[in-house]
Amino acid sequence: MSTFRLGERDFLLDGEPFRILSGALHYFRVHPAYWADRIHKARLLGLNTIETYVAWNAHELVRGEWSWDDGLDLGRFLDLVAAEKMHAIVRPGPYICAEWDNGGLPGWLSADPDVSVRRSEPRYLAEVTRYLQRVHEVVAPRQIERGGPVVLVQIENEYGAYSDDADYLRTLVEVTRRAGITVPLTTVDQPQDDMLAAGSLPELHRTASFGSRSRERLATLRRHQPGGPLMVMEYWDGWFDDWAGPHHVTDAGEAARDLDDLLSTGASVNLYMFHGGTNFGFTSGANHHESYAPIVTSYDYDAPLDEAGDPTAKYWAFREVIASYTEIPEERPAPPHPAPALTGSFDQVADLALVAERLGHWTRHEDPPTMDALGRFRGLTYYRTRVDPVRPARLELGEVRDRALAFVDGAPVGSWTRGDACAIDLAPGSAEMTLLVEDLGRVDYGPLIGEPKGVIGPARLEGRIHGGWEALPVRLELFDELLEAVGFVATGGKATPFGVPVFRIGTIVVDEPADLFLDTAGWGKGSVWINGFALGRFWHVGPQRTLYVPAPILRPGANQVLVLELEPGPGPALRTVPHPVLGGTAPVNHA
């Protein structure tokens, strides 16, 4: 069996110096039928290692309901890496950041306000221990010393940017070692003295994350990691996009020159990302620096392999650079070809409120509860209350997280985005006031991880607390149940006098399954499922105007398209276009 160790200046594979040339590829962002293809294309780029995070809340969205199924089969993913004769790096967090909902931490962890995450807090640690044991039941037997691909395991993620609880890190190490992990353990931090100092322990191997000025950053890392190999665990070769922002890109030539500069130092590297994939369903996270900024559905990342798994100019530029450092296979990935342009049609429509009532029931509360208090950690929730002012009155809410549509007696009266003052002017008389609140993704970086969603704080009518609320979560996660409810409510005519919010049911006919780009330009805001597979959100604020449809979810003949339409667009035309439209570009500055 092989060994993988830390040498004085190098990683040592079977005692020989070994440079890690790795690419980040998150199994939970790629359709499992494509894992082998993406891994193979990483090897054709000259890489020898695949790195993945593990997203806890993908596996255990509901406490105690763990899944390793289909797209979550980490063991199978690692076996495919091994089959390609590559090594693997696993970063199980428990916090991963990654522009992923809540940085991977399940919402239920922090639903109890007394549980604080990412520190030595007994209840949090008990859950984390359970989680890591479970993950390492899969990872431990796949370590290199046991004939598998795994050469490194990371502890936490950029912990120095968050806190400095060394006991917490020590516990993670103990739990990881007790779970049978024997390969070297690493940490990653941004190359700042304070972060590198706080984010690790002497017994862990420090690595860094950055996207430029490699030599200077490696020198900073060296000060904190005086021995052993230098590794950039995240070499940012692109960047993510926020709703309403630009599509971030880096120039392929410049990125390749940067990579060359980095490789010329002899350091090991993990390209973040090699292939970004997609935030399918409701899995995208958000940032909150000055204000809340939710992440788009595509995680293309302007990576060498694009969202559809095709090589880009950056792929070829990187391949040339990597070829000057190592031998690379002669085989080249096939060039991309345009996706079919198809049209389909919508034929039925169903009122969302009626669907929601078939999937759950209203519960009564004095003040509007948070989604978390309702045991809901993703998606949408209805709230309603009766008001009966004798004269014109103003109803005010605390905060909505993250977007709300307001209705009085069923008629839309406005929409708010988090941060807006939420007030409705009511006419005298009895009325029912309804809110549909959407969680646009939990913050994945900084102190707001784990914050509750929904309506925050009590409501006030003319300044006085207005109690007497009901809440109804929209259960979207069990697709068969959802479809049955939609089918029951659907009509061929108008579902509501106001057009939205509704489900639209449509069909698109495909001769032979191929990757598609669903055109959402002109659509308002909502989410799409095809044949029960949750593709993700669309929003007229852009930048993204198409949704990636992986071929393996399609079948020859009729394919069912379900669109949740929250805000109206000019009209629902159903069509696919030859190329993705990720929006107007802006260069990202990794200075």
| Tokens linked to 140 | 């431990």
Q: Compute the least distance from the CB of residue 213 to ligand GLA, in Å.
A: 15
Estimate to the nearest angstrom the gap between the alpha carbon of 495 and the chain centroid: 32
| Separation between Cα atoms, residue 238 and residue 251, nearest integer Å | 9
| Separation between Cα atoms, residue 568 and residue 571, nearest integer Å | 7
Going by their DSSP bridges, the two strands 185-189 and 403-408 should be labelled as: unpaired
Q: Which residue is nearest to ligand GLA (CB)?
A: 97
Query: Considering beta carbons, is residue 101 or 234 the nearer one to ligand GLA?
Result: 234
Number of residues that bind ligand GLA (CB under 6 A): 9
| Separation between Cα atoms, residue 473 and residue 436, nearest integer Å | 9
What is the DSSP annotation of 344-374?
EEEEEEEEHHHHHHHH---EEESSPPBTGGG
- For residue 507, the surrounding DSSP H or E stretch is strand 502-510
> Are the beta carbons of 74 and 58 closer than 8 angstroms?
no
Q: Which stretch binds ligand GLA (CB under 6 A): 97-105, 129-137, 489-497, 505-513?
A: 97-105
Query: Considering beta carbons, is residue 343 or 585 the nearer one to ligand GLA?
Result: 585
Based on the shown chain and the rule CB under 6 A, indicate whether residue 97 belongs to the binding site for ligand GLA. Answer: yes
Q: Compute the least distance from the CB of residue 103 to ligand GLA, in Å.
A: 8
Q: Which stretch binds ligand GLA (CB under 6 A): 90-98, 325-333, 350-358, 455-463?
A: 90-98
Query: Considering beta carbons, is residue 281 or 285 the nearer one to ligand GLA?
Result: 285
How many helices (DSSP H) and strands (DSSP E) are in the chain?
A: 11, 35
> Are the beta carbons of 234 and 270 closer than 8 angstroms?
yes
Residues 124-163 that bind ligand GLA (CB under 6 A): 157-158
Report DSSP state, residue 419.
T
Q: Compute the least distance from the CB of residue 131 to ligand GLA, in Å.
A: 18
> Are the beta carbons of 425 and 553 closer than 8 angstroms?
no
> Are the beta carbons of 170 and 200 closer than 8 angstroms?
no
Enzyme catalytic residues? 158, 234
Structure-token match 């003949």, residue found: 557
Query: Considering beta carbons, is residue 26 or 376 the nearer one to ligand GLA?
Result: 26
Q: Compute the least distance from the CB of residue 276 to ligand GLA, in Å.
A: 9
- Radius of gyration, CA atoms only, the chain: 25
Query: Considering beta carbons, is residue 240 or 539 the nearer one to ligand GLA?
Result: 240
Q: Compute the least distance from the CB of residue 145 to ligand GLA, in Å.
A: 27
- Provide the mask over 545-584, with x wherever binding to ligand GLA is found by CB under 6 A and - wherever it is not: ----------------------------------------
Q: Is the peptide bond before 501 cis (omega within 30 degrees of 0)?
A: yes
Query: Considering beta carbons, is residue 43 or 224 the nearer one to ligand GLA?
Result: 224
Query: Considering beta carbons, is residue 234 or 258 the nearer one to ligand GLA?
Result: 234
| Separation between Cα atoms, residue 308 and residue 333, nearest integer Å | 13
> Are the beta carbons of 85 and 50 closer than 8 angstroms?
no
Q: Compute the least distance from the CB of residue 158 to ligand GLA, in Å.
A: 5
Query: Considering beta carbons, is residue 395 or 443 the nearer one to ligand GLA?
Result: 443
Dihedral, CA of residue 2, residue 6, residue 9 and residue 14, to nearest 10: -10
Q: Which stretch binds ligand GLA (CB under 6 A): 96-104, 290-298, 370-378, 386-394?
A: 96-104
Going by their DSSP bridges, the two strands 231-236 and 205-210 should be labelled as: parallel
Query: Considering beta carbons, is residue 210 or 318 the nearer one to ligand GLA?
Result: 210
Query: Considering beta carbons, is residue 318 or 523 the nearer one to ligand GLA?
Result: 318
Residues 2-61 that bind ligand GLA (CB under 6 A): none
| Separation between Cα atoms, residue 323 and residue 329, nearest integer Å | 9
Residues 185-224 that bind ligand GLA (CB under 6 A): 209
4 backbone dihedrals φ, ψ, rounded to 5°: -135, 120
Q: Which stretch binds ligand GLA (CB under 6 A): 94-102, 176-184, 309-317, 552-560?
A: 94-102
Q: Compute the least distance from the CB of residue 490 to ligand GLA, in Å.
A: 40
Q: Compute the least distance from the CB of residue 484 to ligand GLA, in Å.
A: 38
Going by their DSSP bridges, the two strands 87-91 and 150-154 should be labelled as: parallel
Query: Considering beta carbons, is residue 60 or 302 the nearer one to ligand GLA?
Result: 302
Task: Name every residue whose Cβ is closer than 8 Å to that of residue 537 and which is 6 or more positions away in sequence.
Answer: 282, 284, 296, 297, 440, 525, 526, 527
Of 42, 148, 149, nearest to 89 by C-alpha is 149
> Are the beta carbons of 395 and 387 closer than 8 angstroms?
yes
Task: Name every residue whose Cβ is closer than 8 Å to that of residue 36 and which is 6 or more positions away in sequence.
Answer: 80, 83, 84
- With CB under 6 A as the contact rule, the residue among 10, 84, 99, 372 that binds ligand GLA is 99
Q: Compute the least distance from the CB of residue 22 to ligand GLA, in Å.
A: 14
Q: Compute the least distance from the CB of residue 45 to ligand GLA, in Å.
A: 20
Task: Name every residue whose Cβ is closer than 8 Å to that of residue 525 and which is 6 or more positions away in sequence.
Answer: 537, 538, 539, 540, 565, 566, 567
Residues 312-371 that bind ligand GLA (CB under 6 A): none
Q: Which stretch binds ligand GLA (CB under 6 A): 26-34, 95-103, 193-201, 337-345?
A: 95-103
Q: Compute the least distance from the CB of residue 196 to ligand GLA, in Å.
A: 13
Cα distances (angstroms) measured from residue 587 to each of 343, 429, 590: 34, 54, 9
Q: Which stretch binds ligand GLA (CB under 6 A): 6-14, 56-64, 93-101, 486-494?
A: 93-101
67 backbone dihedrals φ, ψ, rounded to 5°: -130, 135
Residues that bind ligand GLA (CB under 6 A): 96-99, 157-158, 209, 234, 240
